[in-house]
Amino acid sequence: MDAYSDRIRTLQPSAIREILKFTSYPDVISFAGGNPAPEAFPVKEIKEIMDDIMEHEPVTALQYSVSEGYTPLRDTIKDDLYAKGILNWNNDDVIITAGAQQCMEMTAKVLCNEGETIICEEPSFIGSLNSFRSYNAKLVGVPMDDDGIDPEKLEEALKEHRRTAFIYVIPNFQNPTGRTMSLERRKQVLELAYKYNVHIIEDNPYGDLRFAGDNVPSIRSMDTKGHVIYAGTFSKTVAPGLRVGYMCADKGIISKATCALQVSTVHTSILSQMIVHRFITKYDFKAHLERLQQIYGHKCDLMLTNLKMKMPKSITFTEPDGGLFIWGTLPDGDMDYFVKKAIDSKVAIVTGRAFLVDESKPTLSFRLNYSTPTDEQIERGVDILANVAKTMYK
């Protein structure tokens, strides 16, 4: 017997997660994931913190808690967001979620009726697209260039789709392209949101992982009208297994998101929240972030240097200033064949189609991750990719 809801009937597991099953074979080099580098986890510090929690506040860590989140963690995040101009104390609030992914799911639930439109960058993060699909949203992709989403095409989409709930963007080191949206573009996107009276979700999982270039102000820091919902996470900066992220938005939206969270997870694991709070306040979090930036900057540089040296010149790559991903594009031909040949040669990369609104559309691009593999795997993996590519391209 099955009688699934309309919203869920056609939903499929993430294509990337299917690829990841293949990458668990020990002889496969995976450029397919998006996991933080395991050597970056603060294991010793988290062990100390757990001991301290279980010594002094075990009942707080084990008992039910409030849906909004652990107050000391919320306060710490609010202070940080206020310092960055992202939180306005009078109008805004913060709720703790099970990673930034839950922010996407809850925002779609709170703001988007079935059949309404959500506009996103194309390509974009498949996890978020699937969370929007899970509410039967109509996804509309807008192309990007090196400065981010194309503002003219964004306005065309807003004109055409009058029942748009929000625009979804990842301004810093976008997944999958690694691109950063320019300040000018951020202002244009915000103005268009005002003009067409829609919200923006600003998803910023990688913002603290900048290893090159100058910081660009977040869209929410320029928002004077409460249109922007900001999603952050500790998955890339502390540990994803703990599932701790947060949403900052105007108080009305946070109050509805709190209802949505209360009926789903009741509250985010309080033990996880206490671990994150202690780590970012009782240890040198700034030094920890600098160490992460150093690790990812080095790995990105190593992969790009190898790609430039070894791959055919006709294949191009983005050069990210942070984050976890490089976006490669073939000059022509059959990207699926290239990805398949790479996987046959035991290097897993992700087809660009996984990041499209319509996965059946053609694309010449593919995504490479440099955060999870070791240096040696990066060098050897690019060697293998280059050998595959040289049989196809000059």
Place of tokens 């040696």: 376
Q: Do residues 166 and 203 touch, judged by C-beta distance below 8 A? A: no
Contact pick of 88, 92, 95, 99 for its own copies (by CB under 8 A) = 99
| CA 9 – CA 179 distance, rounded (Å) | 33
Q: Determine, following the binding rule CB under 8 A, whether residue 252 of this chain makes contact with its own copies.
A: yes
Q: Determine, following the binding rule CB under 8 A, whether residue 71 of this chain makes contact with its own copies.
A: no
Contact pick of 26, 27, 56, 64 for its own copies (by CB under 8 A) = 64
Q: Determine, following the binding rule CB under 8 A, whether residue 222 of this chain makes contact with its own copies.
A: no
Q: Determine, following the binding rule CB under 8 A, whether residue 65 of this chain makes contact with its own copies.
A: yes
Which three-class secondary structure string do you get for 163-197?
Answer: CEEEEEECCCCCCCCCCCCCHHHHHHHHHHHHHCC
Q: Determine, following the binding rule CB under 8 A, whether residue 226 of this chain makes contact with its own copies.
A: yes
With CB under 8 A as the contact rule, which of the stretches 81-89, 142-150, 259-267, 375-383 interacts with its own copies? 259-267
Residue nearer to its own copies on the CB measure, 212 or 259: 259
Q: Determine, following the binding rule CB under 8 A, whether residue 280 of this chain makes contact with its own copies.
A: no
> Site residues for its own copies, window 15-34 (CB under 8 A)?
17, 33
Residue 383 C-beta: closest distance to its own copies, Å:
26
- x/- letters, 133..172, toward its own copies (CB under 8 A): xx------------------------------x-------
Residue nearer to its own copies on the CB measure, 194 or 337: 194
Binding residues for its own copies, rule CB under 8 A, total 83
Instruction: Please name the amino acid found at residue 332.
Output: D
Q: Determine, following the binding rule CB under 8 A, whether residue 270 of this chain makes contact with its own copies.
A: yes
> Site residues for its own copies, window 168-207 (CB under 8 A)?
197, 199
Q: Do residues 358 and 315 touch, judged by C-beta distance below 8 A? A: no
Contact pick of 26, 59, 83, 309 for its own copies (by CB under 8 A) = 59
Residue nearer to its own copies on the CB measure, 267 or 341: 267
Residue nearer to its own copies on the CB measure, 268 or 318: 268
Cis upstream peptide for 176 (omega within 30°): yes
Residue 16 C-beta: closest distance to its own copies, Å:
11
Contact pick of 4, 89, 152, 214 for its own copies (by CB under 8 A) = 4
Contact pick of 67, 204, 306, 351 for its own copies (by CB under 8 A) = 67
Helix (H, G, I), strand (E, B) or coil at 367: strand
Instruction: Identify which of 152, 167, 41 has the alpha carbon closest to the alpha carbon of residue 104.
Output: 167
Contacts made by residues 294-297, CB under 8 angstroms, sequence distance 24+? 294/211, 295/37, 295/39, 295/40, 296/37, 296/209, 296/211, 296/322, 296/323, 296/324, 296/370, 296/371, 297/211, 297/212
**Residue 263 C-beta-side C-alpha neighbours within 13 Å:** 8
Instruction: Identify which of 80, 79, 77 has the alpha carbon closest to the alpha carbon of residue 96.
Output: 77
Tokens of 270: 């309080």
> SS3 breakdown of the chain: % helix, strand, coil, rounded to 5?
45, 15, 40
> Site residues for its own copies, window 113-132 (CB under 8 A)?
113-114, 127, 130-131
Residue 11 C-beta: closest distance to its own copies, Å:
5
| CA 261 – CA 177 distance, rounded (Å) | 31
In sequence order, the 6+-apart residues with CB closer than 8 A to the CB of 362 are 335
Residue nearer to its own copies on the CB measure, 8 or 212: 8
Residue 218 C-beta: closest distance to its own copies, Å:
18
Contact pick of 22, 58, 72, 215 for its own copies (by CB under 8 A) = 58
Residue nearer to its own copies on the CB measure, 45 or 336: 45
